Amino acid sequence: MGAPVAQDRERMAHAVTRQGIARGARAAAVALSLALACALAAPAAAATLPAGSAFSRTQVTLSETSGGAQSRFTFIAGTVAEVDEIDLTFPGGFDLGAAKADAVMLEGLNRVPVTMTHTIDGQMVRLAFDPPVAAGATLRVQVHEVKLPSQGGTHALQVAYRAAGMPGTVPPLGFKTETVTTAQIVSRWLDTQDWVRAWNSVDALKLFTKPQIVALAIPLLFTGWLTSIALVGLAFPLAIAGGLALAFARMAKIPPVRWIAGLYINVIRGTPLFLQIYIAFVGLPIAGIRAPLFLTGVIVLALNSSAYLAEIFRAGIQSIHRGQFEAASSLGMTYWQAMRHVVVPQTVKRVLPTMTSEFILLFKDTALLSAVGIFELMLYSNSIATDTGNLTPFVVAAVYYLIVTIPLINWVGKLEAKLAQAEGGAAPPSVKKRAGLFWRPASAGPVAEFEASAEVHESR
């Protein structure tokens, strides 16, 4: 009797299991049906391409980044799918009122035209291609005459497209613009003036003194002018110290010291400064000696000028009458005390005009450093001239040089007259010839023996 009961229980358990499996299958079927229904119910327009999937590479460049200027935006992308339409959305503040667009396909150095139409709606430029741009092409889109905002900053160009009938987007393409400067405002104002147009109608005036470029060059070259002044301002004091030491070494009683000083002076004075600059800036780095460009420039100028100042100082010291040494010796002074308190003070007065001339020469020689990449006055002007294709920046640079040199030249003339009067006890003879803008009557100069010894400097 126990066996039939056990069989009945086993049959009941199998029946319950079959019923549970059937219910689970029905539930899974219902869930699958609902999922399919939801998928079919979703609108087809909701399908989009992943960001940037229609393009393999994208970039945007500007022809002009100065605020307030008209610029040309160039969008270049490699197509992966057929592109039907591109939307370029510019940030707020960019004026598209006069903008126009074109597009070509780039095949090596060739430009293949594409058939397209463009419309501008607010900040968006839409380009529609018919037929679509084929996959595997390099597409270049240019939007011309976009006026940039006056305030510079970092911006982003938004790019959307429709490829193979499906919409997509490109990650924002960043670019930078610069805040408009006062010089640029003045230059653009000059563009509108009738007298400027008349001035520029003469080729020679336009080539050398174009007003718009003058307005741009003055503030830009000012930085280079300050650099040139800094170079000579640091190099000349070092040259004075070096030149004085070389002068004493040249007059030393120890032959090896005198020979070494003479060799240095003759080598420096006998070779071009340009050659010395190249040795320092090209040769030393090859030898493993590296220093900042500005510091190297200061050292080269100082070493070069010290050789010329050494001869100036030596000539000035030897122009002092020997009786000055004897008088100092009779007062119990040693040789170096006589030099310090008697000879050198008189020498400085006599060599000051020639030292000033050497300063002027050294200031002009800073232009040679432009050849090795130091951004002084000449390199700034050359950079602007290269960008503009005009020689006006060189004329502006010449004016900057003259701002320093002309006052110093006039001051030297007056100083020579005063020294001549102090040495001779009477005013120098006047020269009856009118002085011009860039010329002054020659003075009688300092004492005769120093004038003769200073001729070696004038031959530089």
* 342, two tokens: 């008697």
- The answer to whether 54 and 87 have CB atoms below 8 angstroms apart is no
What is the per-residue pLDDT for 446? 44
pLDDT digits (tens, 9 = 90+) for 8-49: 444 544 444 455 444 544 544 444 454 444 443 333 333 445
Sequence-ordered list of residues with C-beta below 8 angstroms from that of 363, at least 6 positions apart, any chain: 228, 229, 232, 401, 404, 405
What is the per-residue pLDDT for 36? 44
Q: How far apart are CA 437 and CA 74, in angstroms?
A: 52
More confident site: 358 or 317: 358
What is the per-residue pLDDT for 26? 56
More confident site: 325 or 85: 85
> Given a cut of 80, is residue 434 above it in pLDDT?
no
Q: What is the mean pLDDT of residues 329-357?
A: 84
- Confidence label for 341 from pLDDT (cuts 50, 70 and 90): confident
> Given a cut of 80, is residue 308 above it in pLDDT?
yes
What is the per-residue pLDDT for 154? 94
> Given a cut of 50, is residue 449 above it in pLDDT?
no
- The answer to whether 275 and 365 have CB atoms below 8 angstroms apart is no
Mean of all residue pLDDT scores within the chain:
83
Report the run of H or E that residue 206 belongs to, with start and end: helix 203-208
What is the per-residue pLDDT for 280? 94
Map out the domains of the chain with their CATH numbers: 55-177 (2.60.40.740), 212-423 (1.10.3720.10)
More confident site: 5 or 357: 357
pLDDT digits (tens, 9 = 90+) for 174-200: 999 999 999 999 999 999 999 999 999
> Given a cut of 50, is residue 451 above it in pLDDT?
no
Long-range contacts of 92-95 (CB under 8 A, 24+ apart): 92/123, 93/149, 93/151, 94/123, 94/146, 94/147, 94/148, 94/149, 94/155, 95/146, 95/147
Using CA of residue 238, residue 243, residue 249, residue 252, what is the dihedral sign? negative
Lowest mean pLDDT among 107-116, 125-134, 268-277, 337-346: 337-346
* DSSP string across 118-183: EEEETTEEEEEEEEEEPTT-EEEEEEEEEEPPSS-EEEEEEEEEEETTEEEEEEEEEEEEBPPPHH
Q: How far apart are CA 177 and CA 62, in angstroms?
A: 9
What is the per-residue pLDDT for 52? 52
Provide the whole-model pTM: 0.70
pLDDT digits (tens, 9 = 90+) for 355-414: 999 999 999 999 999 999 999 999 999 999 999 999 999 999 999 999 999 999 898 888
> Given a cut of 50, is residue 276 above it in pLDDT?
yes
Lowest mean pLDDT among 40-44, 75-79, 192-196, 318-322: 40-44
What is the per-residue pLDDT for 72? 96
Cβ atoms within 10 Å, residue 434: 7
What is the per-residue pLDDT for 98? 92
> Given a cut of 50, is residue 438 above it in pLDDT?
no
What is the per-residue pLDDT for 412? 85
pLDDT digits (tens, 9 = 90+) for 99-113: 999 999 998 888 999
Q: What percent of the chain has pLDDT over 90?
A: 61
More confident site: 447 or 108: 108
